[in-house]
A and B are shown apart, each in its own frame.
Chain A
């Protein structure tokens, strides 16, 4: 595992907890992050069949408060966040003037005039500047002041109900609410990045160790970024910087549902998105799976066996531990993106057969 050197890495508030649990650490987006504890496959399995807890405090967190907060956010995000009910969360995008995706974000409307946006770690600084440019002093970066824990898996809401003392499982998907624990506010949201049931908690960084310890004591296994990646890939959730970026647009990425054009409110990228939406995308983010055990990885070439030509490059890929197939995503010409189309992925000297499959690769049983 090569580590990219240089620069001071930021440490998580719970760094000592991760160290004590035997975490193997890796640099990620300027942070020293747990890659794994017991092992990626065991952690992946724990989230699919039990409950795992992730420290995702590296994600940027920006609070926007006051009259006009919703309007400020609407000016920078693709989704019509102003129509969100207080106590709900929604996925959205920041787009550039060409309609490319500068970041994908989660917007939480805690109360009518109190909002929180969660940004990808690698984009946190520019994202905060984007929000602050319209919201001014109404925007506060609370990344350092808070910790974000994702508790995920079929047993997650049960563990959280025990630890937090209320029926987390009764909250609908994407609901969020603030509760009090140890005298401090905790934002609990029915969101996640694993394809499993669960919730995410954002709380004061000084008190966060209490929740971490309680969740672990209640049976959650600590899970690192390694399993976070295989879990999100099986759930076909895109990773910014890999599957989506400033050169890809929401429609070809299958994220048109996160773009609201009907309200007529201007926002960054809207003109380009209107043009892009006018016709079908020339290429689509396509989901591919192998028939045999194989490990397709980001950067591998996708080949059309009919013509023998390269038709795309994997943006993500892995052996899916739960689906037990090699899985990956690639932007392919729309004509090759239909379900069942047979293609190949070049893995070293071999062209491995793959087929286009529906997303997600993994669907949890309800």
Chain B
């Protein structure tokens, strides 16, 4: 057991250290609460009536009226359903496409020496591409082929844009697996597919989860493509929320309740997976 160096200090030094800890704790908590307060206020205001919500205050008698009226709005469910569909379907598809690609990039044998790096770089540069660069052709295609009336159109765009992120993150997780394991399995007669499914995937399970979750959060929050490439039937939750920007009259309580519904899944998902998210981001990012 490691000796706590604080116990070796003189009493005055110990008191000084204790004050320092108290000051630090108070500062950190104040900062954190202040930083989070707009969201906190929004969470609380969902439980007010419109009349109560008009003047900013933390003191009120909570009611479920506003949630009742927000949840009885049929259009909310359309947008909510579309968002859920997009997130689930694109996460699955991104994984189905990105996992084998990352695996092959990490362990494949390519005839030319630089091919692996070229392909990996190609995926990386796609992450840097701003969606404005593709909006015009996508918009004209979607209109010509009615793709904005089906969620499949937006789905394809989301998958195209987010597969590189999955490849990027999973590649560095795979690169961490020692090549001896793969070589041993080759000697044992494994096919590539068996190698991937039975050896590599179990080893990088955290990486896969964090890549999926990052992509899920990004797609849940995505606005630019969701706004411009969809119609009323296929639009997603961020688009629904943007409709609050021009309000006749202030519906702060309704706005707060709807916002809570919109952000809760992403925040909860993000909180639960903080640790693996960080590992995935930094491993994938810092290594290369």
Query: Are A and B part of the same complex?
Result: no
Q: Which residues of B contact A (CB under 8 A)?
A: none
